[in-house]
Amino acid sequence: MAKKEKKRKGKKGKKGKKNAEPVEPSRDAGWEKAIATGRWERSVSVLPDPALWPTWQALREQVLGACTEIHVHWDDKLGDAFVAELVRLASPKLTRLSLRGSSLLTRVVLSPPFPALTDLDLSACANLSYVLVQSPTLVSVNLSLCPNLTTALIQARGMTTLHLEKCPELKTLMVWSDQLTQVALGDSPRLQDLKLYCPQLEGRAPTPPQKASAPKPSTGLSGGF
């Protein structure tokens, strides 16, 4: 009799048990800090991940959209998808983007441009091979120390500084800038196609054998690039 009673109690207890409500994981304090300061300087892996909590997609966009500066250096989690995400968000506040040493980065296309971006640093990205940038606001671009960079297409009328040191595989370089006065190409012995529309350009030191021309700048990417 005692056994039957125990069995009945067990069944009742099991039936009455409710499924626990899902609980949102703890939020990283750095997210609110980034929103308040407008700066992100940590690995992209610690940004809000919508795979962990559904509403974090909106939070992730809020964090990145609030940033005026993004500095992520030597991050082995940062790849092409992150840059594509930034382009999709097209933050009107972003002025500085530095992704130095991102080994997974292979291709960067910043078009349409960020409306306020002035500084772009993609230096020391070991596997970066292709860069296309169109921006009326960019002042400084750093592509130095990219050993596998083969193509760089840059249309930035206000650009005054372009770093291309130690890019030994560079084969195609096209630059449109009304302000650029110098560009050093001595570290690019494989350069084959060079097109510069830089009316203020004073010198190149030293320049390897190449085909060079100064085409009339186009109004859009389709004609120029």
Domain boundaries in the chain? 70-84+91-207
Quick one: which H or E segment has residue 90? none
pLDDT cut 90: percent of the chain above it:
70
200 CB neighbour count, 10 Å cutoff: 11
Task: Look at the block and give the residue holding tokens 């609980």.
Answer: 23
The model carries a pTM of: 0.81
pLDDT of residue 222: 43
Calpha distance 220→77 (Å, rounded): 33
Instruction: Work out the angle at residue 174's Cα, subtended by the Cα atoms of residues 161 and 163, and round it to the nearest 5 degrees.
Output: 25
* Structure token digits, residue 198: 């830089």
Please, is 179 exposed, middle or buried when counting C-beta atoms within 10 Å of its C-beta (0-12, 13-18, 19+)? middle
pLDDT of residue 91: 83
Q: How confident is the model at residue 11 (pLDDT cuts 50, 70, 90)?
A: low
pLDDT of residue 4: 54
